[in-house]
A and B are shown apart, each in its own frame.
Chain A
Amino acid sequence: MKKCIIVSLIVYLAGCSIAQECNAQKKVPYEFPDAMSEAVRTEYIKLADKGQVLYDINCGKCHNVEVKRKLVIPDFTREQLIGYELRVSNPKHESEIPETTVTAEELGLIMTFLNYKKKNDPLMPFVPKEKHVEK
């Protein structure tokens, strides 16, 4: 029993440190142009954060891809991030994200998030948490 607690504690602590590590990486999950002023950047981060939540609710389910058992938000191309035309550019969107599900304002926030989201590294796919724990 004691062992069990100790093990789980270790696992928990390891998890925490990894989570922090991830957080440290996640702290700048966006890529903004260098020329963007600090004040504007702060505002954009607020918008993009909202966009991320909305993306998770409305888009992630279909669009996230599994890389080594971990769901990753894909990098969309500029051509794919076209605003309102999204609603008809993909037949599924017509029924899944009409204005009664995702408003135009919210679509804008999602676009902001996806536009400034840090690109995934194609050579180093996200390493799932569990593997770290095993080590």
Chain B
Amino acid sequence: MNKKLLLVSLAVMIVICFSFKDRIKRDTYANHYISSLNEFQSQQKVLLETIAQSSLTSNQSIEEIRTQLIATRNKLKPLDFWLRYLEPLSYKKINGPLPVEWETEVFEKFEKPYKREGAGLTLAMLYLEEPVIDKQQLLHLIQSSIDASKVYGADSITEDFKTHDHFYLCNRLFILNLAAIYTTGFECPDTERIIPELNLMLREVHHTYITFNESFADTPLSHEYLTLYQKTMDFVVAQPTDYEKFDHYTFLKDFVNPLFTLNQQLIKNYKVVSRSNVDYSLNKNAASIFDKSLYNGQNSKGIFVRVKDPAVLAEIDRIGKLLFYDPILSGNNLRSCASCHKPTQYFTDTLGTSALQFNRKDFLPRNTPSLLNVEYNHLIMMDGKHISLQDQTKGVMFEFSEMGSDEKTALKKVLDCKEYNTAFKKLLAYTPQEKEITYDHLVSAITFYYSKFSKGSAPFDNTMNENAPLKQEVKDGFNLFMSKAQCATCHFVPQFNGVKPPYVNSEFEVIGVPADTLFTKLSPDKGRYGINEAKETLHGFRTGSLRNVEHTAPYMHNGVFKNLNQVIDFYNAGGGAGRGLLVENQTLSADSLHLTGTEKRNLMAFIQSLNEEVPFEEPPLKLPASKNKLLNTRKVGGEY
């Protein structure tokens, strides 16, 4: 009897021991996070203390601070993987690119832009370079970084660590950041530290992976993933530590993008569920970073959003095309969308600096932007005035200096044409919330029509996706783009526009575009300031995509530069401020980039590799006939 009891209790103890061991295993990953966070927080305090006690007068005292600042960044980097995903707003206060940012994130674009202050460690690093250092300001920056980091210990955040979901989504953002910002100096002003920090981060994340697999043995990172990751680390270790000599091209093509593909598969296999707005725009079905469905920018279908039937979509496309070329939408029946967005000229007007106004005498203040790839932006127009493609379409039609029409008249004129009327009546079945045909039906057909020209791929995409061959000069150009030429800190992979991971907002930059090529004065256009009156936004414009840019001259908001060489020279000289114009809030460094002739040519070769295959269509032969005979003389595409 006694023996039995002993045996049973022994068995129970063994079970308890094992479950305890399991429990320990389960906690390895979460504990790793907590201890990394604690280490970072203690190091922040050391940094604060060092600054507080520093005289800031001697080189030695500044060097001491710099050493502690680097040590703090080194404690932050192991956490980057989590912090950027779990609470992106707080992360900006720890390590943001700018002291003040005006944000309009996709889910809140109905609201006014709001101000975010931050920068923390990045700005502290820059302050140390200044001739006179303001101690209070430095202390303030570090203190706000300390305050922001406290958020990450909250229960609401550590709660996520109970399941595997957050891990794969953190990892996705991490991989996207590897592609878009970690090798460009976007958040690391000390360019010598970029690759060393990258090395450190890759190593630390590897450690995180190991702890994760231990704690979540049912949903582990695959052997295939870990093997490729090991190769990635080996590749980076073997690379030069100078980011200008680093092989950004191979890193992205052979390592980062394939890692992304594997992680997306795991997200699907493990049925990962998001509980964060960070994932708002990202698409789980995109297999490559260079898949155009990577993130959802605009809804090109508008009111027809739920239509999936190819036959119905073809009908919307047919009607959209007719409307695109139909001057009936303008106040005088003489102008159509195609008047300025010329389909044969990549949906822009390459002949003039800007288009004629409605009055046929004056010219518009801004250059006509191409409609290609606009759907990959969250805000539309160079000043971000509109939040949707459909709003933008209406905006142009009802603007007296552009198409000079109004909603009521235009809708009546369109519906007086039998062909339009019949077609839209049939389409009404697909928008049951609307009792009658509205202007939204019209503009949705138009945006759906022109968006189909943005689905093509460029040689650079084909290399990334299908390993298509690419000339050496293009690769060299991409490496410059990502480093010395500093293009990639604003034109982000993969759309090469102002939308960076996690692709939830559009960025604006102040670069000091002149009014003329002699740089006598700054362009008077206030840009974003006209929409959001804040001193940081004065002369700010939304960063455009570089896709097809070779075909869309002239350049900049006012079309001041006639060719891309002028544009590259402009950036090479440090923008408007670099050319001696007074641009107090320029977000572009005023220093020269010191690009050589060969480097400029390589850069150009890379930009040319972003020219997409854009299908072209013949214009419609004739436009729908109207009850009003006078309207039946209108020309396809309009007259001016």
- Of B5-13, B275-283, B479-487, the one with at least 4 CB within 8 A of chain A: B275-283
How many residues on B have C-beta within 8 angstroms of the other chain's C-beta atoms?
A: 20
Instruction: Tell which of A54, A88, A105 touches B276, judged by Cβ atoms closer than 8 Å.
Output: A88
Contact A100 B433 (CB under 8 A): no
| A99 contacts the other chain (CB 8 A) | yes
Of all chain B residues, which has the CB nearest A110? B433
Residues from chain A with a CB closer than 8 A to the CB of B388 are: 105
A49 to B273, CA, bound (A): 32
Contact B305 A91 (CB under 8 A): no
Count of interface residues, chain A, beta-carbon cutoff 8 Å: 24
The residue that B273 contacts in the complex, of A53, A91, A104, with Cβ under 8 A, is A91
**Are B305 and A88 neighbours in the complex by a CB distance under 8 Å?**
no
State whether A99 and B299 are in contact (beta carbons under 8 Å apart), knowing that A54-B433, A84-B108, A104-B110 are contacts in the complex: yes
Q: Please tell me if B107 contacts chain A, counting CB pairs below 8 Å.
A: yes
**Known A-B contacts A50-B433, A100-B299; A57 and B306 likewise in contact (beta carbons under 8 Å):** yes
Q: Check A31 for interface membership: any CB of B closer than 8 A.
A: no
A98 interface contact, C-beta 8 A: yes
* A 91-135 contacts with B by CB, 8 A: 91, 94, 98-106, 108-109
Please determine whether A84 and B107 come into contact, CB atoms closer than 8 angstroms: yes
Judging by beta carbons under 8 Å apart, are A101 and B273 in contact?
no
A89 to chain B, nearest CB (A): 7
Q: In the bound complex, how far is the Cα of B280 from the Cα of A107, in angstroms? A: 14
Secondary structure at chain B's binding surface: helix, strand, loop or mixed?
loop
Closest beta carbon of chain A to B436's beta carbon, Å: 12
In the complex the two chains form, what is the Cα distance from A102 to B276 in whole Å? 18
| Cβ–Cβ < 8 Å partners of A106 in chain B | 305, 433
Q: Which residue of B lies closest to A91 (CB)?
A: B273
- B residues 273-309 in Cβ contact with A at 8 Å: 273-277, 279-281, 296, 299, 305-306
Q: Which residues of B contact A51 (CB under 8 A)?
A: 433
Chain A nearest CB from B402 CB (Å) reads: 24
A87 in the interface (beta carbon within 8 A): yes
Q: Chain A contacts of B273 at CB under 8 A?
A: 91, 94
A98 CB contact (under 8 Å) in B276, B296, B434: B296
Contact between chains at A88 and B275 (CB < 8 Å): yes
Establish whether residues A100 and B305, one from each chain, have CB atoms under 8 Å apart when the complex forms. yes
Nearest-Cβ distance from residue B628 to partner chain A, whole angstroms: 30
Q: Tell me whether A88 and B432 are in contact (CB under 8 A).
A: no
Q: Cβ of B296 and Cβ of A100 under 8 Å apart?
A: yes
| From A54, A57, A103, contact of B299 by CB (8 A) | A103
Q: Taking the nearest CB of chain A, how far is it from the CB of B492, in angstroms?
A: 20
Does A34 lie at the interface of the complex (its beta carbon under 8 Å from any beta carbon of B)?
Answer: no
Could you tell me the distance in whole angstroms from the C-beta of A57 to the nearest C-beta in chain B? 7
Instruction: For chain B, residues 373 to 393, give those with C-beta under 8 angstroms from any C-beta of chain A.
Output: 388
Binary contact track A38-62/B, C-beta < 8 Å → 1, others 0:
0000000000011101100100000
- A109 vs B388: C-alpha distance in the bound complex, in angstroms? 17
- Nearest first, the 8 closest Cβ-Cβ pairs linking A and B are A84-B107, A53-B433, A50-B433, A91-B273, A88-B275, A53-B432, A54-B433, A103-B299
Q: List 10 A-B contacts (CB under 8 A).
A: A57-B306, A84-B277, A84-B280, A87-B107, A87-B277, A87-B280, A88-B275, A89-B275, A91-B275, A102-B305
Beyond A53-B433, A85-B107, A106-B433, list 5 extra A-B contacts (CB 8 Å): A57-B306, A84-B277, A84-B280, A99-B280, A99-B299
